[in-house]
Every structure is written in structure tokens, then in C-alpha cells.
DNA sequence: TCCTAACCGAGACGGTACGTCGTGTCTTAGG
DNA sequence: CCTAAGACACGACGTACCGTCTCGGTTAGGA
């Protein structure tokens, strides 16, 4: 007898579902993350998934978080150029050389037609990371390393956004040198 | 008599199909551009569409081009900062206030899982526009308005890429002021 | 509100599908029995049909059974020649003058390239009918009306098979006289 | 340069088409014989095929004839039982053990919904063979080996038709013994 | 011999059907 | 009594083939 149809503890099912979603996402990419396949892989009912996740994008995103358990940190050594370069280089390497790059790109792509995913992505991923960088930039400004009128949000777009651009359009390569260049070119004009 | 089932001139069918694709894309967005609906709207056969377009993304992109007939130009007044600001502001307005912004975002989104669309987008859209900007930057450099070691490709990512970032993630607004700030912050460090 | 998209009782859908299949089969013949048209006529989803019937032939056959609800009987009066003649005459009239003849021919025809239909036809139609005739022949043999070494299975082929031959090839007519002749010519040599 | 599009001698094209049709029929069976595939295999235009053959069945049949070049003969040794047995045994072996059996069955099957094939089959295949057998039977009758009132056409159905029955329905095997039995059982009652 | 008309093959058209996958809804049986 | 299993209608996909029709190159016939 297989398992019966009665209910299992919610958290147990949740865990298996997210495992399955993350596995599919990392293994076969976004198109493989369907309610159908995730439910089948997790041995759960599709009904259950519909109850907890509003869209396949939201499910995929949560599966991604569940799989990578990323730590959120922005080391502050006191040298903003060095910190930005190291952060940006780490980011470029992550999305440029690991599976994560393609996955993040697909999530952003899917988010264009999936409002639930877009919202979840902003709230749970991009916003916190932006904030960390903005705070670091503000601290640098307060330390006198950056001009007083620096627009920290725009700086984030000019560094990370530039990388996302290359990640999403892919008509120019995403290299360490590129990361370094971004910081160098931008900070030249931002020093007091 | 209806029309028979034989061949109609290729360009005639093509035109009607692209009309339909563009109309659906602008009117209801990317999810509405399916082979099925485009064929129905165009009064064409699905088979015919499959013969000419490798994916719904490629079809949508061509429908978009067909609909907007955009002119490609990068005015060069001799003042690079002014030119960049005006170009970037125009771009920000286009994608920030018209239907085109959402459409372009959806196309880029779809391109993440549609290689044919990605290739067509790079070749027919992003690459030519990048090149124009890069050439303008090189001319400015040769005029002595920019440092000799400027990385023009990176500059493009730091200006337009920054805008695409806000377009695609949408956790910060895409305003005229933002465009101006991007140019100001970046060019400060790029002058000789 | 139309009806919703959820589940309907299986037997309800089944019934409507078989009605439709039978109606199309009797009305327009085998070529009209496609999954597509049956689904449309029955107001059911094609997906559902695929779940229950392995091929359009199998669907048609079941539709045929559903429509005709034939009774299976082989009256045994004690006079084998009379019984065979009456059975064969009835069969000849059925397939020679009613719609059923063409339908059965088309089913057998389709079965040549549809293993599922072939299997279903043998199991559900021909085998039981053969068996009834064979049993009657064995009883006649045991009563001493037929030679002890009669090959009852072969007799079936020499009577009904002969009729199927004319039904399927149609280069000679299928008449009552033919049925009578078949029995007469064969039984002459089968009497003890 | 490939070959141009001008015309080739009709008989040359015909030959290649029939080669292709026969090859497909013998190799993959009736479902593989489509105008599309035959034209492709023969390197001919579909238009040409439509001009010469009214249906895929007719094309297949002619391809079959072209491939097998069967000789039509009914040896007459003077002993009708021996002749019938040897002819029937040869037939049973042909359709029971070679590819031809399946092919003939598929052709008859297809003929149920293809009037052009049915007509061509009767005219070019079954009718001539029936006639040969009927003539042999009439000669035997005239020699006094069969009763004067024998219905030769019916005899053909009771011998070959019985075999076709087993070929087409396949719920009993088609063996040499079966052929022998058919003749033995039937001729018992047909002798004067 | 050149030019032109007729023809015929190549191939695209509108269609029908297939079989599959995914979606979101709804019923129902099981724990 | 609630939940999950699972069947349903639906929409879209990509493919195969059908029968029709247009187009343009070749070839044969007339100038």
C-alpha cells in the first residue's frame, strides 16, 4: 500500500516540495519547474502546491532559496573601492561560472510575466541586497570616501545592474576584469 | 467561393502574421503571443508559422519590430555628456512610460528560456544599439572628452544596463532624474 | 456559469463519449471516428479520451458495442444444418443489408494497422462468436450428426470466413442463397 | 547543380515512385506509404503522384505489384484435390510466413475505406485469381470429379476466404494442416 | 536559330488530426 | 471533516499528412 491519502505534517510536505523544486530548477532550469512535475517529484498533490504557492515562479524562487541557503553579507573593510570590487567580483563569478547565473536569469525572466514571482523576488532577494550595498555606500560617504551628493541607489544600478545587463542580454562577456573596470570607472567621479 | 486552400503570396501572409503578432504583443503582452492565437488572428495556418519562426519568442520579436519600425540613430552634437543624457532620457521615457517598456522587458524575460529569441534579440536589437553608443563614446574619447583608457562597452552597461536593471527588477523607479544622475556620476570619473 | 472545469463522474463522460463514437461510426463510418471529433461531439476533452482508449479503433469498437448492444446466442434446435443455415443467413442479412456490414468491415480493416483494436475485436467480438459456433458443432458431432474427425474451427472459417471474404473483398455478392450454398456444400462431406 | 526543375521522362519517374512505394510498403507497412513519404523517397514531386494515383492505397497496391512481380498460375494436374491442396498450401505459406501476408492484410484493410484501392484490388488482384480457381474447378466438374451442381465461386470463398479470415482476424493460426483440412472437409461433400 | 507558350515539378498554403504537457477547477474517497 | 488524490475541460505545443494552388524553369513548338 502506497501511503494512503490522509494528511501528512505540513512542514514535511513543504520540505519535500521545496527540495524537488530546487532540484528541478538547478538541474533542468526554469521550464522544468511546473506544478505538475514538482508535485510528482515530491510525491505530493498538486492541490497542495496551489494552496501554498501562487505561481510556479514563486515556487521556483522558494525552491532556489531552499537549495542555496545563501548568506547575506557585505564585508566592510573601510576601503569602499576594495569592498565593491571584491563583492562585485564574487557576484560576477557566481553568476558567470556556476549554475546559479542561468537560474537567476531565468527567474528574472519569468518574473516579467509572473507578478507573484516579481514581488517575491524583490522582497526576498533584490531589495535586501540593494539595501546592504546602499548602507555600505552611505557609510563610505559618511567616512568621506565618497562625495556627499552621491546617489547610492544609482551606484548599485551602475555596478550590479551593469552585471545583470550582461547576464541577461549576453552580448558581452561577464569577467573579473569587467567587474574591476566597473568600479574603477565609476568611483573616479564619485570621490570628493 | 472562400479562397481555396492553395498558396498565397508569402509576403502577404507574413505581413498579416506580423501584424497580428505585434497587435497581440502590444495589446495583451507576451503571454498572448502564442502560435495558436497569432495564427487565428492572422487567418493563417499554424503550420505556416512554424515554418518561418522557430519559437514564439522569435515571432513576437519580429512582430514588435514590424509594429514599431524604430529608427536607429545616435545624434552626435560634440558634447558627449549632453548626448548621453538626452539619449538616456529618451530611452527612460520610452520604456518607463509607454507600452514598449513592458514589452521589451517581457521579450528579454522570454529570451532567458528561448535561445532563438535571445539570438534574434542580440543580433537585431541590442547589438546595433550598443555599437552606436560605443562609436559615439570612441569619438568623444578621440576628441579628448574622455580618458584614453575608457572602456566604452562597460560604459554602455553602466548607463543603459543600469536602466534595464530598474526596468526588469522594478524595485526603484525609472525617472528622468535617474538618467541624468547616471551620466553625471559616471562621467565625473571618465574625464581626462 | 457554464459547468466549471472540474471533474464529472467518469461513467457520465464515458457514456456520452461512447454515444458520440457510435453515432459517428454508424453515421459517417470509421474515418469520422477521430479522437478530435468524438471529443467535440461528446463535449469531452481529448485528453480524457486518450486516458481511456488506446487508439481510435478501440474507441470505435467500444462505441459500436455500446450502440448495438447485440445479444449473443446460437439457438440449438438439434438440427445442425438448419441451425447453421439460419445463423449464417441472419449474419449475411445483417452485414449485407444494414449499416452494420460496412461498419464491421471498416473495423476489421482498421484492425490491420491498429493492434489495440485487433486485440479488442478478437477478445470482445470474434472469439466469443467462434466459440459459440464451435460448441454447437461439437454438440452436433456428439449427437452423431457430424463425423468424429470434424475440425470445428475450420468449419467456422469455411462458413463465416467465407462470408467475411465476400464482405471485405466484395467481388461477389453476399446473398441468402450464398449462405445456404455454403452450408449445403460443406455439410455434404461432414456427415458420418 | 541539382537537376533543374524541368521534366523527366514519365516512365523514369513512375519507376522510381513505385520502387519507393514498394520499399516502404514491404519495409514499414501500409501506414508508411503516404504521398508525402513516397514522393520524398522517390525524389519526385507530390503533385506528380496526385496526378497518377487517386489514393495512397492505389499507389501502395501498384507499388506492391511492382515489387513482387507475382506470376499468376494454377497448375492443373487432373487431380483437383491435390491441386487445391497444393495451391492453398502455397498461399498459406506465402501469407503466413512472409512479409507479404501482413502487407496483403493491410491492403485489404485500407481498401475498406479507400474505394480506389478496393476497385484496383478487385480488378488487378482478387478477380483474376478467383477466375483461375473457378476455371480449374469447372474443369474438374466437367471431368466428373465434382458434382454437377457445385458452386465454384462459393468453393473459392470456402477455401481461400477461410484463409483470409484467419489472416485478417488472427484468432486461429494459419498452418499447412489448416489448408489440408479445408480441402478435405469441403471436397468430401462435393464429390459426385 | 531564336523566342515564346505550355507545361510540370517544387514547394507553400489552409487544414485536420495526432499525442503530449501543463493549468486551474471540482468531486470524492480515505484517514 | 478535512485533505489529497485524481479526473475533468481547456489551451497550447510541435509534427505528419492531406489536397490545392502559385510560381518559375525547362522544354518544345512556332516564327
The whole-number Å distance from D143's CA to E13's C1' is: 65
Residues B131 and B153 in one domain: yes
Q: What angle do CA C94, C98, C102 make, to 5 degrees?
A: 95
C67: number of Cβ within 10 Å: 17
Nearest C-alpha neighbor of C19 from the set C72, C53, C71, C60: C60
Which pLDDT does position C7 carry in this prediction? 61
Residues A76 and A135 in one domain: yes
- Nucleotides of strand F within 7 Å of the protein's CB atoms: 2-27
Q: Is residue D170 part of a domain?
A: yes
Nearest C-alpha neighbor of A171 from the set B134, B89, B54: B134
Which pLDDT does position B96 carry in this prediction? 94
Residues A96 and A61 in one domain: no
Split at pLDDT 50, 70, 90, the class of A11 is confident
Give the domain-ending residue among B67, B91, B114: B67
Which pLDDT does position A181 carry in this prediction? 98
Residues B98 and B147 in one domain: yes
Give the domain-ending residue among D19, D36, D67: D67
Nearest C-alpha neighbor of D107 from the set C30, C112, C32, C101: C112
Split at pLDDT 50, 70, 90, the class of C4 is very low
Which pLDDT does position B42 carry in this prediction? 95
Judge whether residue A10 has pLDDT over 70. no
Residues A131 and A56 in one domain: no
- CA closest to C1' of E27 belongs to C7
Residues A159 and A78 in one domain: yes
Nearest C-alpha neighbor of A57 from the set A91, A19, A103, A12: A103
- How far is it, in rounded angstroms, from Cα A55 to Cα B31? 15
Number of domains in chain C: 2
**Burial of A128 per CB tally in 10 Å (0-12, 13-18, 19+):** exposed
CA distances from C142 to B141, C77, C184 (A): 112, 14, 20
Q: Is residue B1 part of a domain?
A: no
Judge whether residue C107 has pLDDT over 60. yes
Q: Is residue A80 part of a domain?
A: yes
C185 to chain D, any CB pair closer than 8 A? The answer is: yes
Residues B61 and B78 in one domain: no
User: Mean pLDDT for each consecutive 10-residue tract of chain B (192 residues)?
Assistant: 50 91 97 97 95 96 93 90 96 95 98 97 97 97 95 98 98 98 92 78
Q: Is residue A4 part of a domain?
A: no
CA distances from D45 to B9, B48, D37, D52, D61 (A): 20, 20, 11, 12, 19
**Burial of D16 per CB tally in 10 Å (0-12, 13-18, 19+):** middle
Judge whether residue C5 has pLDDT over 70. no
Which pLDDT does position C169 carry in this prediction? 98
Q: Is residue A3 part of a domain?
A: no
Residues B22 and B114 in one domain: no
What pLDDT, in 10s, does the model give residues C58-67? 999 999 999 9
CATH code, domain with D32: 1.10.10.60
Which pLDDT does position C3 carry in this prediction? 41
Contact criterion met (CB < 8 Å) for D112 and C113: no
Q: How many CA atoms lie within 13 A of D36 on its CB side?
A: 2
> pLDDT under 70 in chain D at which residues?
1-10
Residues B95 and B139 in one domain: yes
Which pLDDT does position B7 carry in this prediction? 59
B134: number of Cβ within 10 Å: 16
Q: Is residue A94 part of a domain?
A: yes
* A114 contacts on B by Cβ (under 8 Å): none
Q: Which DSSP category does A149 fall into?
A: T
**Residues in chain A, overall count:** 192
Residues B95 and B56 in one domain: no
Which pLDDT does position A73 carry in this prediction? 86
Q: Are A67 and A23 in contact (CB under 8 A)?
A: yes
Judge whether residue C38 has pLDDT over 90. yes
Nucleotide at minimal C1' distance from the B8 CA? E13
Residues D62 and D96 in one domain: no
- Percent of chain A predicted with pLDDT > 70: 95
State pTM to two decimals: 0.90
A55 to chain B, any CB pair closer than 8 A? The answer is: no
Nearest C-alpha neighbor of C184 from the set C162, C151, C153: C162
Contact criterion met (CB < 8 Å) for D171 and C108: no
* A187 contacts on B by Cβ (under 8 Å): 189
Domain extent at residue B22: 10-67
Q: In chain A, which ranges are continuous DSSP H helix?
A: 10-28, 35-42, 46-52, 56-68, 80-97, 99-111, 115-121, 127-142, 152-156, 162-169, 176-187
Residues A165 and A109 in one domain: yes
Give the domain-ending residue among B47, B67, B87: B67
Nearest C-alpha neighbor of B159 from the set B104, B87, B97, B55: B87
- How far is it, in rounded angstroms, from Cα C36 to Cα D64? 32
Q: Is residue D17 part of a domain?
A: yes
CATH code, domain with B105: 1.10.357.10
String of DSSP letters for A104-138: HHHHHHHHTT-HHHHHHHIIIIIHHHHHHHHHHHH
Between C and D, how many residue pairs show a Cβ–Cβ distance under 8 A?
154
Split at pLDDT 50, 70, 90, the class of A167 is very high
Task: Cell numbers for B159, please give them.
Answer: 548607463
Backbone dihedral angles phi then psi of residue A139, each to the nearest 5 degrees: -65, -40
Q: Is residue D2 part of a domain?
A: no
Split at pLDDT 50, 70, 90, the class of A76 is very high
* A158 contacts on B by Cβ (under 8 Å): 158-159, 162, 182, 185-186
Amino acid at each position: 500500500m502506497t501511503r494512503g491519502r490522509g494528511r501528512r505534517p505540513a512542514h514535511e510536505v513543504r520540505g519535500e516540495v521545496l527540495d524537488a523544486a530546487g532540484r528541478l530548477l538547478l538541474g533542468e532550469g526554469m521550464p522544468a519547474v511546473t506544478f505538475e512535475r514538482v508535485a510528482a517529484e515530491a510525491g505530493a498533490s498538486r492541490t497542495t502546491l496551489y494552496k501554498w504557492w501562487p505561481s510556479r515562479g514563486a515556487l521556483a524562487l522558494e525552491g532556489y532559496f531552499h537549495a542555496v541557503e545563501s548568506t547575506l553579507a557585505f564585508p566592510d573593510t573601510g576601503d569602499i573601492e576594495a569592498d565593491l570590487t571584491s563583492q562585485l567580483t564574487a557576484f560576477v563569478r557566481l553568476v558567470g561560472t556556476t549554475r546559479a547565473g542561468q537560474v537567476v536569469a531565468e527567474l528574472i525572466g519569468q518574473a516579467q510575466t509572473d507578478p507573484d514571482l516579481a514581488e517575491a523576488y524583490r522582497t526576498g532577494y533584490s531589495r535586501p541586497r540593494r539595501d546592504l550595498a546602499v548602507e555600505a555606500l552611505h557609510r563610505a560617504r559618511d567616512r568621506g570616501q565618497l562625495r556627499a551628493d552621491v546617489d547610492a541607489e544609482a551606484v548599485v544600478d551602475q555596478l550590479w545592474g551593469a552585471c545583470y545587463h550582461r547576464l541577461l542580454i549576453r552580448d558581452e562577456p561577464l569577467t573579473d576584469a569587467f567587474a574591476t573596470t566597473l568600479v574603477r570607472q565609476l568611483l573616479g567621479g564619485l570621490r570628493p
